Homo-oligomer: A and B are copies of this chain.
Amino acid sequence: MFRHQKELQFEVKVDCPDPMLARQVQEVLGGQFGEMTVMMQYLFQGFNCRGEEKYKDMLMDIGTEEIGHVEMLCALISQLMDGASPADQAEAAKDPHMAAIMGGINPQHLLVSGLGGLPTNSNGVPWNAGYIVASGNLLADMRSNLHAESQGRLQVARLYHMTTDEGVRATFRKMLARDRYHQYQWMAAIAELEEKNGVVVPATFPPEAEMEAQEEAYKFWNLSEGEQSAEGLWATGSAPDGTGDFKYYADPDPEGNIPNPTVPASEVHHDLDKELLKRK
């Protein structure tokens, strides 16, 4: 069960409304790597966690924090939209510079949300749950969390350069710092988990079952012309878990055959040649 406290986690204070920036900020609210994503991802991972109390508690801590980040960004967008009523917009359109800004506004901030935050990205695409994952496998999921925080902080950093409003930048600084912590946090959790079960996900798939395909686990297939890819750590030396050595195949041949699918029954209506159907 959850409870809500009226204060925001961090202060949000915009020096000057800026409807175009409001549109851009939507990316880190309702985009693929916005706050809605990390909120829903951590909550579902926490809700579904089985048998690992300290991870579950930690997931619930941070998932709960992220609900507050969605709240914070809605407050930010509301302030950025202040004074941008439809009629203000129509007035603005008479001045070329203002008209320019208008072209960059999200029309839904006026028509749909009445100057409030939207559960969509910077192009108005609604947030959807295809962005998130809660697989039950903690290492897989925490790698997902680390990547989400990496992409998220990258976007806030880019956004930071798109405004000179000091109020807005102060909020972004807090977010950049929290996203930095969250990257540290998932790295630390990943280190713990890799220590326990090894670096490959899932760890519980029996290696002997994979035996016959063993060598495929160390092979680099060079399928793009040029061999610059031979220079990386992935092409030489040992696998990170020391189970084998990488091998670079500069010009690998396919190991399978040409597929030769069965001719289907006529009521599948592929409309094949009668000759083909006969051969069936």
Q: Determine the distance from Cα of A170 to Cα of B74 in the docked complex, in whole angstroms.
A: 35
Chain B residues with Cβ under 8 A from A240's Cβ? 184, 187-188, 191
**A155 touching B111 by the CB < 8 A rule?**
yes
From A61, A113, A192, name the one whose CB has the most chain B CB atoms within 10 angstroms: A61
Chain B residues with Cβ under 8 A from A4's Cβ? 1-3, 60-61, 63-64, 223-225
A165-195 CB contacts (< 8 Å) to partner B: 170, 173-174, 176-178, 180-181, 183-189, 191-193
Q: Determine the distance from Cα of A117 to Cα of B272 in the docked complex, in whole angstroms.
A: 19
Chain B residues with Cβ under 8 A from A184's Cβ? 199-200, 217-218, 234, 239-241, 246
A140's contact among B151, B189, B191, B231, by CB below 8 Å, is which?
B151
Chain B residues with Cβ under 8 A from A241's Cβ? 184
Take A127-B128, A229-B61 as given contacts and tell me if A267 and B212 are in contact as well, using a CB distance cutoff of 8 Å: no
**B9 touching A255 by the CB < 8 A rule?**
yes
A112-141 CB contacts (< 8 Å) to partner B: 112-140
Q: Determine the distance from Cα of A107 to Cα of B181 in the docked complex, in whole angstroms.
A: 26
Nearest B-chain residue to A119, judged by Cβ: B129
Nearest B-chain residue to A104, judged by Cβ: B103
**B137 touching A271 by the CB < 8 A rule?**
yes
A205's contact among B57, B72, B110, B157, by CB below 8 Å, is which?
B157
Other 5 A-B pairs with CB < 8 A, given A48-B113, A177-B217, A202-B269: A3-B5, A78-B259, A87-B265, A106-B123, A125-B125
